[in-house]
């Protein structure tokens, strides 16, 4: 593939580089004020900070429904005065923001700054928090009376308990040299397929947070039946992604027998195609490139429809005759890839379109994705987005078209951009929308906002959903874990959780109690199944006991962990009970190493599963009774008598004590 060179216009992790200003955000990583900018840890020599006085300790932080907690470098009253100096000299610093917290109910002090050897006359005052709320990270702003140039120093004067410094953002004429964030020619999330035009350049990204990959270009060395994934730099809200020269496709639009389509060409002019792009092959999940988008065998196998959901997920479907239809992302057990699947049962993708922001002196305002997706309880929540701005001469006014459900944390954003928090309060389930209006002088943009509020569901309620519906379960208990299969139950029924990459439930055991289980529901050929899409919480519980059934299971029992008593094996293909037959499906590889004894009755424990009819996936079999005998002891054991494993005979007791060995009854 040809290589395309591009210039990386430096910016922060969360904001575009502006022609008239830049925002550099440093996140601290240890008590010596080591830091990172974007996804790159600074080297402490050409960027970052040099410690003037170390902090007391450092904690990474954790996300909670209320906000980020326990993040940053700790400065205690004993370590008061801790701080650092930037390696970089910034030109015309106009504003500094600090992301910090205290302990739950205590913490006071002052954060002072010096720029170019001159102390900034004002300072950031840290007041004692409202009781119980100090652990949530807060943001304070210091606006300079006049721009100053030079290295930036700060010192934290702690007069009570602790102050934790998480991030410092510097708004100046220049940015730090090693800051690797979103470039000027970044790619912005598409929220409407109608925005795609001939000649547009796009990147195939991943819709879910934490999966920082984009789809590369096909080549015979890195791709086989799919296209390999490349690491990528996204903004925190996933509204933008950096350009990757080896991931850019050019859009072409046209019309086929099925109507309007989109085709995607790589840098060498080859078209993205489904099912291998070879009319002589029909394998599933193939995605590659070919020199044409149509063939008599595969039809329009290089033509695609594009539909984008309100949350930014792109549904890209092939119009050809291939069994493989939808482009999706697959973590693939640590070797991530993009491929084409028969159904939308993998990780959804997102499309990013190149935005040549601020060309020349044109004004520009952009934000990340403000569709908050689905939340799983009524109440309040929020999201933080970066307002990216270029070539503006006035600060940006912020307002909501409707208000009510949504609110913002400020009415003005700096002309070079900055963070904006969008909050909502919803008392009922449903879909809520509004429009964010951002304006600077005569230039304005309107950004749709939305959130869907859903309630958690029981396993039986989940089974009533349409296929591929995103849902979250209430508390469930693991009954059986095997490889990628996690069977769970609650008081209403049972379900299968499918962990395709064995990413979320690798160490689960029977009895573990799960909360926050989220995924897409599907009736998988008669089995209720949720394909997991994110991590959940678990805690240890007592091993799950099987439900004893007095009858052979039926379709209402699928997914249940059951024990069938007094059954016999028909080889390793079925169970027999009172003349009825129940097929076996060896999902857990139990039958492979199991040889049932003749004339023996068992208690069999397993999962009820639907596989061309109701089956049982056996996991354990224990001998209950046997009617066999040892030929050497024929005189002591009559063939019409039955005995239990403990040696108690179901009839008259003969002389001696019976016992079972190797499936045969013997006598002392």
Q: What CATH number should be reported for the domain holding residue 564?
A: 2.40.50.140
Least confident of 6-10, 486-490, 601-605, 650-654: 6-10
Give, in order, the Cα–Cα distances in Å from 527 to each of 473, 513, 532, 613: 16, 22, 15, 10
Average pLDDT on 586-599 reads: 89
Among 221-230, 293-302, 517-526, 536-545, the range scoring the smallest mean pLDDT is 221-230
| Residues 368 and 304 reside in one and the same domain | no
Q: pLDDT confidence of 331, banded at 50, 70, 90?
A: confident
Residue corresponding to tokens 């990216």: 388
Distances in Å between the Cα of 596 and the Cα atoms of 404, 577, 585, 606 are 68, 15, 16, 16
What is the enclosing helix (H) or strand (E) of 367?
Answer: none
Does 415 share its domain with 371?
A: yes
Q: For residue range 35-89, what is the model confidence (pLDDT) as tens digits? A: 987 667 888 888 899 999 999 999 987 766 666 677 899 999 999 999 999 999 9
- Asked if 107 and 129 count as a contact pair (C-beta separation under 8 A), the reply is yes
Number of domains forming the structure of the chain: 5
pLDDT of residue 497: 96
Q: Which of 145, 172, 199 is the last residue of a domain?
A: 172
Please, how many CA atoms are within 13 Å of residue 211, restricted to the half-sphere of its CB?
29
Residue 543: pLDDT over 90: yes
Tell me the three state secondary structure of residue 555.
helix
User: Is residue 102 located within the same domain as residue 223?
Assistant: no
pLDDT at 395 over 50: yes
Write down the pLDDT at residue 21. Answer: 56
For range 534-542, the mean pLDDT: 91
Collapsing DSSP to helix, strand or coil, 488 comes out as strand
Residue 112's pLDDT is what?
97
CA distance 58 to 28: 9
Q: What is the pLDDT of residue 558?
A: 95
Local confidence band at 617 (pLDDT 50, 70, 90 cut-offs): very high
Q: What is the mean pLDDT of residues 514-539?
A: 91
Residues 6 or more apart whose Cβ sits within 8 Å of residue 593 = none
Confidence label for 17 from pLDDT (cuts 50, 70 and 90): very low
Q: Is residue 634 part of a domain?
A: no
- The answer on pLDDT for 408 being more than 60 is yes
CA 421-85-149 angle, 5° bins: 80
**C-alpha to C-alpha distance for 289 and 276, rounded to whole angstroms:** 8
The better pLDDT of the pair 191, 261 is held by: 261
Give me Rg for the CA atoms of the chain. Answer: 32
Are residues 525 and 465 both part of a single domain?
Answer: yes
Do 220 and 97 reside in the same domain of the chain? no
Q: Looking at 421, 438, 453, which one is the last position of a domain?
A: 453
Q: Which residues pair with 119 in a beta bridge?
A: 114
CA–CA gap between residue 374 and residue 470 (Å, rounded): 8
Q: Is residue 273 part of a domain?
A: yes
Residue 384 and residue 509 in one domain: no
268 with 344, same domain: the answer is yes
Sign of CA dihedral 632, 636, 638, 642: negative
* 660 has pLDDT over 70: no
Residue 546 clears pLDDT 90, i.e. is over it: yes
Question: What integer best gives the mean pLDDT of the chain?
Answer: 83
Find out whether 346 and 520 touch, Cβ atoms under 8 Å: no
d(CA 126, CA 496): 50
Same domain, 517 and 555: no
* CATH number for the domain that contains residue 153: 2.60.120.260
- Parallel, antiparallel, or unpaired for β 494-498 and 527-532? parallel
pLDDT at site 666: 54
Most confident among 200-204, 369-373, 465-469 (mean pLDDT):
200-204
* CATH code for position 378: 2.60.40.10
DSSP 8-state symbol, 454: -
Contact 531, 524 (CB under 8 A): no
DSSP 8-state symbol, 206: E
State the average pLDDT over residues 273-295. 72
Both 201 and 71 in one domain: the answer is no
Q: Give the residue from 209, 536, 462, 521 showing the smallest Cα distance to 350.
A: 209
Burial of 381 (0-12, 13-18, 19+ CB in 10 A): middle
pLDDT digits (tens, 9 = 90+) for 548-581: 998 899 999 999 999 999 999 999 999 999 889 9
In which region does residue 609 sit, left (phi positive, over 0), alpha (psi from -120 to 50) or beta (all else)?
beta
- The pLDDT of residue 654: 44
Give residues with Cβ within 8 angstroms of 178, minimum separation 6.
37, 40, 42, 43, 46, 47, 48
pLDDT at residue number 254: 86
Cα angle, residue 209 at apex, residues 206 and 213 outer, rounded to 5°: 40
Q: Which of residues 132, 149, 172 is at a domain's end?
A: 172
- pLDDT above 90 as % of the chain: 43
Separation in Å, CA 314 to CA 139, 190, 305, 308: 34, 8, 10, 4
Q: What range defines the domain where residue 391 resides?
A: 364-453
Q: Which helix (H) or strand (E) holds 577?
A: strand 574-577
Statement: residue 182 has pLDDT above 50:
no
Stretch (H or E) spanning 460: helix 459-462
Kindly report the pTM of this predicted structure.
0.57
Does the pLDDT at position 8 exceed 70? Answer: no
Looking at the structure, do residues 250 and 332 belong to the same domain, yes or no? yes
């Amino acid at each position: 593939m040809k290589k395309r060179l591009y210039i990386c216009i430096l910016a922060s992790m969360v904001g575009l580089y502006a022609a008239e200003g830049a925002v550099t955000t440093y996140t601290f990583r240890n008590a010596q004020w080591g830091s990172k900018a974007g996804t790159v840890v600074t080297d402490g020599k050409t960027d970052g900070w040099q410690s003037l006085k170390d902090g007391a300790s450092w904690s990474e932080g954790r996300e909670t429904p209320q906000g980020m907690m326990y993040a940053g470098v700790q400065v205690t009253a004993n370590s008061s005065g801790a701080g650092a100096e930037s390696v970089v000299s910034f030109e015309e610093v106009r504003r500094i923001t600090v992301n910090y917290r205290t302990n739950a109910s205590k913490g006071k002090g002052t954060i002072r700054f010096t720029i170019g050897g001159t102390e900034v006359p004002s300072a950031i005052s840290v007041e004692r928090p409202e009781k119980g709320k100090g652990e949530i990270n807060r943001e304070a702003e210091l606006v300079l009376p006049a721009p100053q140039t030079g290295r930036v120093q700060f010192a934290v004067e702690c007069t009570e308990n602790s102050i934790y410094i998480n991030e410092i953002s510097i708004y100046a004429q220049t940015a730090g040299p090693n800051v690797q964030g979103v470039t000027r020619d970044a790619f912005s999330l598409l929220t409407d397929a109608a925005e795609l035009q001939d000649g547009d350049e796009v990147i195939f990204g991943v819709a879910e947070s934490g999966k920082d990959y984009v789809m590369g270009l096909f080549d015979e060395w890195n791709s086989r039946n799919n296209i390999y994934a490349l690491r990528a730099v996204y903004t925190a809200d996933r509204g933008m992604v950096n350009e990757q020269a080896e991931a850019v496709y050019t859009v072409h639009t046209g019309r086929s027998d099925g109507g309007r389509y989109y085709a995607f060409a790589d840098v060498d002019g080859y078209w993205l195609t489904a099912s291998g792009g070879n009319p002589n092959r029909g394998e599933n999940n193939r995605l590659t490139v070919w020199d044409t988008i149509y063939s008599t065998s595969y039809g329009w196998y290089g033509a695609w429809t594009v539909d984008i959901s309100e949350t930014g997920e792109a549904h890209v479907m092939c119009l050809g005759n291939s069994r493989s239809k939808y482009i999706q992302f697959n973590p693939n057990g640590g070797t991530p890839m993009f491929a084409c699947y028969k159904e939308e049962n993998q990780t959804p993708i997102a499309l990013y379109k190149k935005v040549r922001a601020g060309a020349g002196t044109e004004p520009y305002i952009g934000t990340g994705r403000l569709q908050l997706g689905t939340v799983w309880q009524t109440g309040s929540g929020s999201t933080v987005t970066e307002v990216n701005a270029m070539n503006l001469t006035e600060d940006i006014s912020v307002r909501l078209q409707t208000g009510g459900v949504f609110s913002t944390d400020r009415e003005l954003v700096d002309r070079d951009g900055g963070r904006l928090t969008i909050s909502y309060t919803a008392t009922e389930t449903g879909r809520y929308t509004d429009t964010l209006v951002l304006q600077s002088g005569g230039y304005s943009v309107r950004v749709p906002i939305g959130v869907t509020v859903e309630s958690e569901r029981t396993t039986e309620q989940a089974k009533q959903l349409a296929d591929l519906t995103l849902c979250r379960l209430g508390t469930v208990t693991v009954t059986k874990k095997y490889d990628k299969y996690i069977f769970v139950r609650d008081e209403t029924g049972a379900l299968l959780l499918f962990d395709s990459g064995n990413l979320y439930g690798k160490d689960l055991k029977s009895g573990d109690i799960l909360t926050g289980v989220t995924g897409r529901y599907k009736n998988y050929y008669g089995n209720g199944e949720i394909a997991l899409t994110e991590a959940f919480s678990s805690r240890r519980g007592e091993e799950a006991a099987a439900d004893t059934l007095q009858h052979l299971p039926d379709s209402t029992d699928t997914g249940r962990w059951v024990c069938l008593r007094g059954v016999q094996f028909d080889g390793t293909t079925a169970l027999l009970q009172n003349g009825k037959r129940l097929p076996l499906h060896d999902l857990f590889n139990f039958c492979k190493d199991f040889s049932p004894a003749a004339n023996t009755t068992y208690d069999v424990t397993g999962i009820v599963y639907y596989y061309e009819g109701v089956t049982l996936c056996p996991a354990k079999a224990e001998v209950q009774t046997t009617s066999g005998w040892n030929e050497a002891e024929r005189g002591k054991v009559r063939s019409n008598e039955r005995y239990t494993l403990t040696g108690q005979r179901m009839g008259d007791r003969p002389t001696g004590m019976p016992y079972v060995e190797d499936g045969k009854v013997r006598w002392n």
